[in-house]
Structure formats: structure tokens, C-alpha cells
Amino acid sequence: MTDTEGGRGGVGSRRRGRPPRAESADTRDRILDAAREEFAERGYDKTSVRGIAKAAGVDSALVHHYFGTKEQVFEAAVEVALVPALAVRDAVLEVPLDDVGERLTRFLFGLWENPVTRRPLLAIVRSAVNNEAAATVFRRLVSAQLLRRIAGEIDAPDAELRAELAAAQLVGVAMMRYVIKIEPIASADPEQIIARVAPVVQGHLTGP
């Protein structure tokens, strides 16, 4: 059975087709919540539109109606989940450029340490690592909304490379700590990690 076939196999009495207008916002939010959970738990490849629909308690046709393909569902879920992370672009640029490394590192690790924001970040990272379509969506959003903004503040010809290297440092440590969970990084005090990583991030941004 394909994702578009919908209603069989456990959907039961859930309604088909488009919900009344008053239910639309709630239905859309439930689908996005379910999508984030599914992508976090299963990754992009093992998540299906049918599985998202089942978790949200709706028919698969509604998922397609609101978002289209699985890639489009992923992009919508990622964009919503990245809102707190993308707020870093304004938070870090409130300080002098020489302090951006510490501010950026502290802000992003704060998101990872918070269970509420960690779950959607796990969905994004696990999916992007295993699937090129998911990685493309992730790169597009992060590059357009975060890295280019930071690079714009760096007075150097290789500003974009510097911003990307700083991001790679942060993503790499986050992968080791929160996704792969390699010790002793996984259980180290967050302040210890921030103290060691922030100068490296700063070096990428403004070093020689």
C-alpha cells in the first residue's frame, strides 16, 4: 500500500479529505509534531507519509494536502524546529565580533541541552546525515538563514568559509555528544565543553 492510499491499516474511523476550516490549524500542527517525532525516531529514510499520518491521527491524504511530498513535510518540520536555532543569528550579532564565538557556542549548546529543543534537532541531524534529500533541505535553510548572515559580518575574503568551518566545529561536537554519544564528551559538563570549543569557533571566524 502506498502513502497516498491512506485510510487502511489502522486509520479506522479517522476522517478523510480536507477538515473544516476551524480544525485546519490544529490538524496542521499535529502533523508537524508527528513528523518531527517520526523523523527523530526513525530518520528520513525510514519515515513515511503514512507513518506520519498514523502518528498524527489523520489520513495520509491530509498530509499530502497540507505539505505535499515527504521531502516537503520534512522541510516544513525542519523550518519550524529551526526557529529557536535561527534566532542565534540575531543574538550573536548583538555582541562585538570578537565575542561571537563564545556567544554562538553557548547559544547552540543551550538548545541541545534543553530537552524541548533537542528532540527536533536530533530529527534534523539524523535525517540529514543519512539522506541526501534531507541534507539538501538542511543546507538550504541553514546556509540561507544563518551562515550567510554571520559571514556578512566578517571582514575577510573567505568569510563564508570561515562561517561554515565554525558551524562544522559546532555540529561535529554536537554529533559526538548528543547523537553518537561518545564518552567522555557525552557526559562532560556543558560549561567545560563550551570553554574548550568557543575559542576554536572564534578562531575560525576571526583568526588569521
Give the list of residues 6+ apart from residue 34 with CB closer than 8 angstroms, or none. 52, 53, 55, 56
Task: Scan for cell 495520509, then name that residue.
Answer: 60
What local confidence, expressed as pLDDT, does residue 93 receive?
66
CB count within 10 Å of CB 207 equals: 11
Q: Quick check: 65 and 56 in contact, CB under 8 A?
A: no
Residue 128 half-sphere exposure toward CB, CA atoms < 13 A: 20
pLDDT by residue for the chain (208 residues), tens only, comes to 444 444 444 434 344 444 455 467 889 999 999 998 898 888 888 899 999 999 999 999 999 999 999 989 988 887 776 776 666 666 666 778 888 889 889 988 988 998 877 877 887 788 888 788 878 877 777 776 677 778 888 888 899 899 889 989 998 999 999 989 999 999 999 999 999 999 999 999 999 8
> Kind and range of the H or E element at 84?
helix 83-86
**pLDDT attached to residue 97:** 80
Model pLDDT, residue 56: 94
Distances (CA, A) of 132 to 44, 138, 139, 142: 10, 10, 10, 15
pLDDT at 88: 64
To the question of pTM greater than 0.75 for the whole model, the response is no
